[in-house]
Amino acid sequence: MNLIDILEKEIKETLSKLGYLADARLIASNRPDLGDYQYNGAFALAKEYKENPNIIANKIAEVLKVNNNYSKVDVVGGFINLTINNKLLITYLNNLIKNPDINLFKMEKKKVIIDYGGANIAKELHVGHLRSANIGEALKRLFISAGYEMIGDVHLGDWGRPMGLIIKEIKEMYPDLPFFDKNFKGDYPTKCPVSAEELNDIYPRASIKANEDEDYLEDARAITTALQNGDKAYYALWRTFYELSSTDIKKIYNKLNASFELWEGESDAEAYIPEMMKYLKDNNLTTESDGALVINVKEETDNREIPPVILIKKDGGVLYHTTELATLYYRQKRFAPDAMIYLTDIRQELHFTQAFRAAYKTKIIPKTCTLEHQGFGTMNAPGGKPFKTRDGGVLSLKGLIKLVTDETRKLIKENIKEEEKDNLAENIAIAAIKYADLLPNRSSDYIFDPVMFSDLNGKTGPYLLYSTVRMKSLLSKCADAGLIPSEYKSLETKEEREIILNLLKMKSVLEKSINARSLNEIAEYLYKLTNSFNAFYGEHEILTSDNEVLRNNWVTLTKIVYDTNKRLLNILAITVPEKI
């Protein structure tokens, strides 16, 4: 058990002895001069038991004063301030050396599908795709650390009218390709007829044409319908640019340390639509409205308009909601998860409200499975406007990474080999981007300044990497000098004590982060812990101290903080380089 768990258990037992039935929750004090932790439960007990909170607090405090866990117990206005005994902190630290997992927050094991990424086939990943991949990957790793079985799905946008538009435009460019020859009898080519760069330009160009030319749009619609109905030629062409585009997308996700257990998309849900529609019709779960097949999801308690879910249009076409519901249908059928979490732009909240209501109403998803949409805000450039290229287009993720890499290259020492500098600069740039993205609350918009967030000083990814690499270097020098982490003997300095108290907060931070589905708690905690270590490092010479006990203690403390930083940076999917 974590030390705070033990102390809370003892307080609960104390309450029971005093005749109070209640859970005990310790809160880290924001007034270190008054104590390390605070117990505020006397107020809730006073309300329940009709007693004065100050009297209750004093009764509890009198018991706590004699159990030797605290060097100071004070009551101020019903609040109990607790200063933990140094011997107990040393015991905690030694337990942490033996089992670092006592600092983790653990939950009952569940199976959870997390949907993040959301890249579109034949479109280059841009800055708008960053937060989904970044937050989703970190949340997945966080839940894994808590004991969940996580299944991450990239859920590609690889179906529907955009694919028809792309095929139409390729047909305009290369009409003599075998994919467009009705008399072609052989095997269709497996190599995409256009390059990745051309492919990224095709959809925007086709969209403009479709808006300006009704005949062009109708052809694209016909192609889309044929593709969805299994046209072999169009499917073969779709497969070539799917493979080309997805390969390019994977490279960018790999740079961001985002990995997926499922590499699936809207096209995979398509196969389940007939089965799902049969289930819905057989059970009379749909209604007809103006020729369209819909599911009404409005509820009496709604204080805004919630439109029905349209499954089949009047002309027989399926819509985004149809694919979304089919995705829920096949995920439930294949995996029977305990929960599904979706990470998208916060502006898609209505779409998921409709989809989730339809899924529960039709019993496609049982009530035992929790459906969550966790929306996020946008990342903007300095000045508060979206990141743009020089010609006014949306900045690609490749472009953003290069922009920040140009800044982080300035941080690399001259003695690093030239051939290593590029990879190292990109590693630091990825850390700068990811940490800056996770630092604000998930639902907030924020401004990303490439220069500010690439600085080695301040609340930045490079600062955390530099500090962690310095800890590693220090440990290496200690090992060369015969100093290795061992049992902690004594607690002598206020800087040590602050580090230990920060370590003690880790489990609570992880719990808050999991409950809020946000990573800013961990990002802030990492900075505070690292800062407390750097303050300690600046005041004490670990290698050259004359006191052997202190030297050994400080090496041990360095190792614990280093391991903690590595573990938390890994949860945030940030890689620590060998050197900077």
Phi, psi of 41 (to 5 degrees): -70, -10
Give a yes or no: residue 434 inside a domain: no
pLDDT exceeds 90 at position 26 = yes
Give a yes or no: residue 302 inside a domain: no
Task: Give the end of a domain, one of 193, 222, 255.
Answer: 255
pLDDT at 356: 98
Give a yes or no: residue 11 inside a domain: yes
- Measured CA to CA, the distance from residue 486 to residue 414 in angstroms comes to 36
Task: Give the end of a domain, one of 235, 255, 275.
Answer: 255
pLDDT exceeds 90 at position 171 = yes
pLDDT (tens digit per residue) in 282-299: 999 999 999 999 999 999
pLDDT (tens digit per residue) in 341-356: 999 999 999 999 999 9
Task: Give the end of a domain, one of 62, 84, 106.
Answer: 84
Please name which of 194, 199, 267, 265 lies closest in space to residue 230, comparing C-alpha atoms. 267
Stretch 105-129: mean pLDDT: 95
pLDDT at 424: 95
> CB neighbours of 557 closer than 8 A, spacing ≥ 6?
93, 488, 496, 499, 500, 536
pLDDT at 213: 96
pLDDT exceeds 80 at position 499 = yes
- Measured CA to CA, the distance from residue 467 to residue 568 in angstroms comes to 14
- Residue 40, token pair as written in the block: 């505020």
Give a yes or no: residue 415 inside a domain: no
Q: List alpha helices for 116-231, DSSP H.
A: 130-145, 161-173, 196-212, 214-228
pLDDT (tens digit per residue) in 146-160: 999 999 999 999 998
pLDDT at 414: 81
> What is the domain range of residue 228?
161-255
pLDDT exceeds 80 at position 112 = yes
pLDDT exceeds 80 at position 190 = yes
pLDDT exceeds 90 at position 314 = no
pLDDT exceeds 80 at position 317 = no
pLDDT at 389: 77
Stretch 510-518: mean pLDDT: 97
Lookup result for tokens 């058990």: 1
Give a yes or no: residue 323 inside a domain: no
> CB neighbours of 523 closer than 8 A, spacing ≥ 6?
435, 438, 439, 572
Give a yes or no: residue 488 inside a domain: no
Phi, psi of 354 (to 5 degrees): -65, -50
- Measured CA to CA, the distance from residue 500 to residue 537 in angstroms comes to 14
Give a yes or no: residue 357 inside a domain: no
pLDDT at 384: 87
Give a yes or no: residue 137 inside a domain: no
CB 458 within 8 A of CB 452: yes
Domain tally, the chain: 2
pLDDT exceeds 80 at position 315 = no
445: left (phi over 0), alpha (psi -120 to 50) or beta: beta
